[in-house]
Amino acid sequence: MPLYLAGSARLRYIVCAILYFAQGIPYGLFSISMPAWLASKGIEAGVIASYLAVLALPWAFKLLSGPIMDRYRYPTMGDRRPWILAAQLGMAASFLGLISIEDPATQIGLLMTLGVLVNVFAATQDVAVDGMAIDLVPEAEHGRINAFMSCGKAIGWAATSAISGIMLVNYGLATTAIAAASVSMLIWCGFLLIREREGERLLPWSTGVARTDSITPQSFRRMGSSLNAVLWAKTSLAVLAIMIVDGIVAGYGQALMPIAAVKVFGYSTQQWSQLVASMGLVGAVAALTLGPAIDRIGAKRMLQLTVVLVAVHAFLLGATQHLWTDSWYVRVMLSLWVLMNPVVMVCIIALAMSICSGGVSATQFAVYMSVANLGSAIGAKLFGLISESQHSNFSSYYLLLGGLLILLLTLVTVFRKDAAAALASNR
């Protein structure tokens, strides 16, 4: 029996979760295990922060993919599916380039370049999956679909960080890269069997037809006009501000946490990776459980609550330096940080998705997520610059993180979804 996403909410949840799992593979390897591994080899915090900032750039510029996807479609295979297949295949193949790296500590430039290449394909796949979700999923299910996607990605980076943390130390980067490529290729093969809508082709040479209500692609000029009509509205500008500050918080924390774990709290690469893996899975389950709650009480209220909790955590960690020698206290605090990341993510994505307009949905949502990822690059670089100051310490790093979270909370609190945005998101 043919499988198609438009006819089954359950299948949509499962497939989107698996595709987001695939995006979690490069994140777990490059952004969780690798920074801890580099730190254990004595690489300076500023260099690691710059590495993370560069890796975030493809995600910051993925907005360039949105207009191309909205303009060029092959509806007989689905509006977004061909793009997902191409990007997933590219991601699997580009992992193999890591085999050429013998010593990441001395080949950091090549490692950055290959990491950027992998993330270019991952970011392109992300834009296509988000566009497919916006096209196929009713707004009433946005909280649940985002919960499943965030859960899938969290499981992806959690599992990858746990496994790659062990493989990098014991088997080297080449074997780790082959394993990542193999799993990515397996996901590509599975998605090859799924259609977006009934009757579409599985492959270009297969039988099938495009749906009769397929949206006619707009020209770039008209698409730009449509995007401008929604992007610069008051509600959209508020979301843009929320996204960039959230990105700065995420990037800053992403650079801070593994370096602190290794250089301050005495964790090994494997210990950090395993902690992130175990608590990431718990966070994924928490995010999945919160999906229906977000649909019921709203993404804004849930986001406010989670940001408050993360801010309290950052301030508390920064103010209790005298407890940093207590291994149980440190483990609990680091675990809480990892646990809350997927929860914040699902709330942020649901908030942004709720105001997207159907005609330019992939482009509009890509802009929001690109701004967030640009913020992530800025946040990572910000930590690198601060870490080079002789007058700063890790306690002050955590207090600054808390201050950034207070700014994010303020922006979320003043956010209002106006009637025009609500109407646009339902088109």
Q: Return the H-helix or E-strand segment holding 3.
A: strand 3-4
The pLDDT tens digits of the residues spanning 408-420 come to 999 999 887 664 4
- Answer whether residue 209 is part of any domain: no
| Full domain range(s) for residue 372 | 3-204+220-425
With a cut of 90, say whether residue 85 has pLDDT above it: yes
Going by C-alpha positions, the residue among 129, 150, 134 that lies closest to residue 230 is: 134
End-to-end CA distance of the chain: 31
pLDDT of residue 108: 85
Which pLDDT belongs to residue 122? 93
Locate tokens 């804004």: which residue?
300
Q: What is the DSSP letter of 31?
A: I
| Distance separating alpha carbons of residues 221 and 347, to the nearest angstrom | 32
On whether residue 212 sits in a domain, the answer given is no
Using DSSP, how many helices (H) and how many strands (E) does the chain show?
16, 2
The pLDDT tens digits for 221-277 are 666 666 666 677 788 888 899 999 999 999 899 889 888 888 888 888 788 888 888
The whole-number average pLDDT for the span 175-199 is 90
Q: Residue 20 and residue 156: Cα distance in Å, rounded? A: 8
pLDDT digits (tens, 9 = 90+) for 279-332: 877 877 777 777 677 777 777 888 898 899 999 999 999 999 999 999 899 999
Q: Which helix (H) or strand (E) holds 231?
A: helix 220-231
What is the rounded distance in angstroms from the CA atom of residue 77 to the CA atom of residue 290?
A: 33
- 364 CB-contact burial (10 Å; exposed 0-12 / middle 13-18 / buried 19+): buried
**Domain containing 191 — which CATH number?**
1.20.1250.20
**Any domain includes 284:** yes
Provide the token pair at 303.
């986001």
How many domains is the chain partitioned into structurally? 1
For residue 189, tell me if it sits in a domain: yes
**Cα 113 from Cα 245, distance rounded (Å):** 26
**Which of 193, 199, 202 minimizes the C-alpha distance to 211?**
199
Strands (E), 274-367: none
pLDDT at 203 over 90: no
Structure tokens at 200: 């579409």
- At 423 the pLDDT is 42
Specify whether the CB–CB gap between 59 and 376 falls below 8 A.
Answer: yes
Domain membership flag for residue 117:
yes
331-350 tens-digit pLDDT: 999 888 888 877 787 788 77
**293, part of any domain:** yes
